[in-house]
């Protein structure tokens, strides 16, 4: 079995794959100071609840955008799983050419998401990740990572509205019953949801225009399902895109002996 970690700024997604099948998955808050011992305790509990054992794991892959968190996960994998983890980064074979001016600037999470989107949905494709930031990652018709767009995330925008407008409350992000809100909460929910859906549709249309192709659009991340309900351009929602991409990159590196 393969154990994969997608460590983001806000949450850490963990997956356990049997072959190509994602058999178990967990979503934890990202804690940059979590130690290798703490990782061992957390994973031991999760594995026990899933009826699994560390001895069943024969490989691990990590995508991490929080550098302080990486070393502890690597130590846990080496010590408790007795395996050398594959850490996605510069020099790792992804099977996808990177057209960025400086490929080292592209986050590992964005690369594995693009790899999975290409493998699952073909090319050209646009992968939108609704995480701490909202990122658009573009794979062109040739299967290369063409670049993308980075915008503020839904959570960041919602929190900023609460913090900087003294009379507005903190709201739960839900789809309101109508666009025209009949109270403050509904009005805020409408502005956030339809504002982000409009942003998505506008950016996607401009990307498609630059590509000269009707690229498919797949969404992932915390708010993917919600925003997709109001979007006119999102074709599919795949909550496990990054975990699938990690597994694909792992297989490609093992196949090349890297």
Quickly state the pLDDT bin for 168 (edges 50, 70, 90): confident
- Reading the block at residue 103, the tokens are 């490929």
129 is in an annotated binding site: yes
pLDDT of residue 204: 98
135 is in an annotated binding site: no
9 is in an annotated binding site: yes
10 is in an annotated binding site: yes
pLDDT of residue 12: 96
> Are the C-beta atoms of 120 and 147 separated by less than 8 Å?
no
Share of the chain above pLDDT 70, in %: 98
Average pLDDT over residues 4-20: 94
Quickly state the pLDDT bin for 258 (edges 50, 70, 90): low
Cα gap 28→82, rounded to integer Å: 23
pLDDT of residue 11: 93
pLDDT tens digit string along 44-73? 999 999 999 999 999 999 999 999 999 999
221 is in an annotated binding site: no
Could you give all domains of the chain from N- to C-terminal order, each with its CATH number?
2-87 (3.30.420.40), 103-245 (3.30.420.40)
* Mean pLDDT over each residue of the chain, to the nearest integer: 93
7 is in an annotated binding site: yes
> Are the C-beta atoms of 18 and 44 separated by less than 8 Å?
no
pLDDT at 87 over 70: yes
Average pLDDT over residues 139-146: 97
* Active-site choice (27, 33, 109, 137): 109
103 backbone dihedrals φ, ψ, rounded to 5°:
-55, -25
Active-site residue 109, yes or no? yes
pLDDT at 236 over 90: yes
- Reading the block at residue 42, the tokens are 């957390």
Kindly provide the b/e burial profile for residues 82-121, where b requires at least 16 CB atoms within 10 angstroms of the residue's own CB: ebebbbbeeebebebebeeeeeeebbbbbbbbbbbbbbbb
Rg (CA), the chain: 19
30 is in an annotated binding site: no
Angle at 162 (CA atoms; ends 156, 165), nearest 5 degrees: 125
Quickly state the pLDDT bin for 188 (edges 50, 70, 90): confident
């Amino acid at each position: 079995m393969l154990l994969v970690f997608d460590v983001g700024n806000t949450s850490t997604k963990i997956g356990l794959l049997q072959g190509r099948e994602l058999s178990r998955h967990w979503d934890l808050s990202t804690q940059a100071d979590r130690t290798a011992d703490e990782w061992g305790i957390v994973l031991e509990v999760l594995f026990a609840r899933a009826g699994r054992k560390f001895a069943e794991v024969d490989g691990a892959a990590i995508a991490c955008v929080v550098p302080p968190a990486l070393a502890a996960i690597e130590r846990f994998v080496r010590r408790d799983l007795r395996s050398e983890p594959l850490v996605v980064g510069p020099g790792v074979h992804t099977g996808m050419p990177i057209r960025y001016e400086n490929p080292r600037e592209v986050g590992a999470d964005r690369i594995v998401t693009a790899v999975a989107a290409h493998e699952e949905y073909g090319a050209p494709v646009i992968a939108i990740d609704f995480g701490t930031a909202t990122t658009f990652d573009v794979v062109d018709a040739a299967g290369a990572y063409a670049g993308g767009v980075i915008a503020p995330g839904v959570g960041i925008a919602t929190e900023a509205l609460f913090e900087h407008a003294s009379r507005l409350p903190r709201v739960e992000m839900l789809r309101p019953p109508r666009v025209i809100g009949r109270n403050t909460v509904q009005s805020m929910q409408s502005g956030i949801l339809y504002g982000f859906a409009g942003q998505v549709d506008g950016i996607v249309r401009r990307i498609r225009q630059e590509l000269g192709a009707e690229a498919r659009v797949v969404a992932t991340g915390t708010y993917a399902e919600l925003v997709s309900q109001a979007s006119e351009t999102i074709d599919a929602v795949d909550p496990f895109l990054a975990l699938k991409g990690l597994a694909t990159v792992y297989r490609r590196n093992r196949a090349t002996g890297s």
